[in-house]
Chains A and B, each alone.
Chain A
Amino acid sequence: MNQNLETIKIQSEQEISAVKNLEEIEIIRIKYLGRNGILNDFFSAITNEEKKQYGSDFSLVKGLISLSIVEKKLELSNTQTKNIKKETKNITSLPKIGHLHPITQTERQLNEVFRKLGFSVYNSPEIVTDKFNFARLNVPVEHPARDMQDSIYIKEPEYLLRTQTSTIEAYLLAQKNKDLPLRTAFAGSVYRNEKVNRSNHFVFHQYQAVVVDKNITIKDLIGTMDLMFKTLYGSKVVVRYRAKYYPEVQPGVGPDMQCFNCHGKGCPLCKYAGWIEMGGSGMIHPKVLEMAGIDTKIWSGFAFGMGLDRWTMAQKNIKDIRTLMGGNLAYKPNEL
């Protein structure tokens, strides 16, 4: 091969390999293969005899340079796409965000209301004794109120899974009877021996607030409950408070919310009552306080509780209670 052609070939290879982008390779292409490029200049400058002698070498070098340029273009093209992809992968989706379970969200929302009123949060075991689940709440053995709750027993009749958050109240009063006054709120899982279906579950969630202090009144109870309902449902919510029986309170107070579906006219959702029962409450029964060793001549208190599941389902448009504790509850990975 002609020495000059060999030099051109080596030089072009060096330059092509050093190229970093498609713009530069185009310049190289023009430099070597263009009409006034190095190869054409070389070919124009030699004699006809030399053209015959080096013609095939010329064609070979031209071909090799062309091939190198194409390969380089391909490489650069891929690299640039990859670069864009790499860049894109970091920005092509909105950041993944985590989520609290809706029950926890509601629980925190309520805790925040009560924290601002000076309430602590509390908890107690889920495997409990009959004494704390029933007897300490003024529900002795064979009391008909026990029929209101089908219990899941661990060791009948002594040990069972707590059927209500009032059980936490019973532990609280027993454990903190020397720390009066008390302002406490708590959420908890509770268990009933129910078949699991679209409407019922053996485990669900309740929220309860308990206050023990001097001169506590039903007005305090109703006002505080109303504050809670307005926090959850908005300031326009209509709630009525009426007489209701629970063995652990006396007098008992039942909050009913005007049905949000029919606005009090009556519909299948509210069983044509126009109102939806929202839980139970009342002044803590004197016997409950006395069983906890609290002097009812000095102290009184109120307690109220409500279920969290139905409210949460309504808020999140969840139709099946099983969803709350099943694999089909999911969260969008980012805010769209």
Chain B
Amino acid sequence: MKLILSELQKFIPDFKKKPEQLRDDLTMIGHFTNFFEEIDGEIVFDLDIKVNRGDCLGYYGLARDLSVFYNIPLQNLSSTIDNLKSNYSLPIQINTSNVKRVMAVKICHLKNSSSPKWIQTFLKCHGLKSINTLVDITNYIMLLYGIPNHAFDTSKSTDKLIWEMNSKFKEFVSLDGSKLILDNKILMINNPNKTLSLSFWGGEACAIDLNTTDTIIELAIYDRTTVRQNSRQLKAVTEASIRLEKDLDPELIPTAFNHLTNLILKNCGGQISSEIFDYYPDKQEIPAIEFDSQKPSLISGIDIPKDFTIDCLTRLDCQINNNLITPPSLRKDITIEADLIEEVIRFWGYQKIPIHQPLTFKKVTDITPKEIYLIENIKDKLVQLGYDEVLTWPLVTTPINKKTVVKTQNSINSEAIYLRQSLVPSLIQQLDQYNRFKLPNPQFFEIGKVFFQEGDKYIEKNALGIYNHNLDQLRRDVLQNVSNNDTKIIFNNNFAEIILDDLEKPNEYIPKQHQNTAIELTSQIVTLDANITLDYKEDPIKLIEKYSQIIGSKNLWKLIITDIYQDSKTNKYRYTFQASYFNLDAKTAKSIHLKAFDLI
């Protein structure tokens, strides 16, 4: 959501803070503001609006929040419509219960044109294209109040607009020419002969153009679930659908409608040529919420004065009747006491809550599942033995047993649609990768879930998969450290797998803390040899440490001495080193190597 500072100030003219302050304040009260920038001389903010705050998908809702926060008045930019002289009743039909409220009126003899500069700039700041004055004003009002609206060219649509669930039309062509296939679940605005509009997207059939002189403008709010489903089904997301999927306030429609109508009359001329159509069959009573004014303090953990609480709720336009609070209709997100508590705390300020008072120790029942102790214990044992832990994809390409495999229905990663039934295939891939990187003698393990389906049941088990290039060593390590019952272990070449759920579990275990390096390999390990000759015999470990320091740890993977030879004639000692380098190309590795061993 974009927010132009000057446009916001029309609603709260007393707002005088700097943009930086507004950015931080918006964020602190729940409207995360990424940044602000200057576009054509306007300061424009970029905000993330919470999904439960449909009212803040327009300037009006945000301005109301800020007027409460800064305790400054909110300006009403709308005014009643003058010259309502026509007694022509629009022949509009509403044939579906998915319409919550519609207001509409016909304006004739208007003169459409390209938009004035201020609207063009406004739309540009919002990333929208200017079309013509009439269309741009409808978009402007949508962004101002968060309520989508539409203008029909009545020379194309006729006045007989019908809101209905589609029953006879197969196709809809949108304003941008997209052709959408319809079914009977789509909420439409039609006339008896053709489709005119979706609930959230205007149609080409009645598009406003520069020749338009007569129009019906309408503002409507629908059942949001229907709009959401239609948008998903048609794979069409518009600025209107984003708003109509939210819980919008039908009570705000007259304000936005009046503003829209007056703005069209002001900028396009024309005259009101019908009565105002207002369909609002099911006006909802807003239930009062029982509220304890001590609760904001009790929940926040800090003292929030009762006076502030009452003042805050009053500024939010809540009706207060002793301990019963009726929230304003605009605030569809306030339905229970906790919602009111949040309002009070966020306007009081989260930054006033101390950050240095964590919970202190308290003895409560240990509910840790014993298999977690077992898993942690095995991990520590294997690490102690020199094994590295890896994690692999739980989704795999190929099932082991088609009868018991669990298959995903909609994974967009077409190469991985089955949940693994064994860790070994994934570990084989891991080994393959290590081999591609020429990693010398890897030995590694994974503890993770394996999945099976038995009838309608999905079964998950904790499994250990382990690899060692030395099979005898692997057998010893597993039998001595995981389970001495080899009937439970499946040995598969140099891999072993065991279901951990079947093993005896410890009653408790405190895992060891490790802080070790991990490397993201980007190229093959490069291994090079070097000889050095010394007049004396030296401790090989000291030599390894010495040359490790010379080479530096940044790209040194491993350094070993593979041979020591004493020349009988000279009595000198020759040490043969093998150095492995990572994330270097061969040429760079060689250059470092030669320099380190003084071989240049």
Task: Show the binding face of A for B, using Cβ within 8 Å.
Answer: 22, 73, 77, 80-81, 84-85, 88, 91-105, 108-109, 111-112, 115-118, 120-123, 125-127, 142, 144-145, 147-148, 152-156, 159, 161, 176, 179, 181-184, 189, 193-196, 202-203, 211, 213, 215, 217-220, 222-224, 226-227, 239-245, 247, 250-254, 256, 266, 271-273, 275, 277, 283, 285-287, 300, 316-320, 323-334, 336
Contacts and interface: CB of A to CB of B under 8 A. Distances in A.
B16 interface: no
B332 to A, nearest CB: 12
A159 B355 contact: no
Interface in B15-71: 27-30, 32-35, 50-53
B511 A111 contact: yes
Contacts of B394: 126, 189, 203
Contact of B548 (A145, A266, A336): A336
Contacts of B389: 98-101, 104
B566 A241 contact: no
B350 A84 contact: no
Contacts of B108: none
A175 to B, nearest CB: 9
A204 B304 CA distance: 40
Closest 7 CB pairs of A and B: A327-B433, A219-B301, A217-B301, A243-B30, A92-B561, A251-B342, A98-B383
13 contacts: A81-B565, A84-B565, A88-B540, A102-B518, A103-B391, A202-B411, A219-B302, A223-B357, A224-B359, A243-B342, A253-B350, A327-B437, A330-B388
A81 to B, nearest CB: 5
Contacts of B53: 245
Contacts, number: 334
Interface stretch (B208-216, B402-410, B487-495): B402-410
Given A105-B513, A183-B362, A330-B518, 6 more contacts: A100-B383, A123-B372, A222-B353, A327-B432, A327-B433, A330-B519
B520 interface: yes
Contact of A88 (B34, B411, B564): B564
Contacts of B433: 326-328
B541 A91 contact: yes
B393 interface: yes
A85 B564 contact: yes
A122 B341 CA distance: 30
B367 A120 contact: yes
Q: Is the interface of A mostly helix, strand, loop or mixed?
A: mixed
Nearest to B347: A243
A250 B562 contact: no
Interface string B180-198: 0000000000000000000
A77 B27 CA distance: 79
A97 B389 CA distance: 11
A154 B458 contact: yes
B590 interface: no
A324 B518 CA distance: 10
A207 to B, nearest CB: 14
A333 B558 contact: yes
Interface string B327-353: 000000000111101100110001101
A222 B355 CA distance: 6
Contact of B35 (A95, A103, A193, A266): A266
A213 B363 CA distance: 12
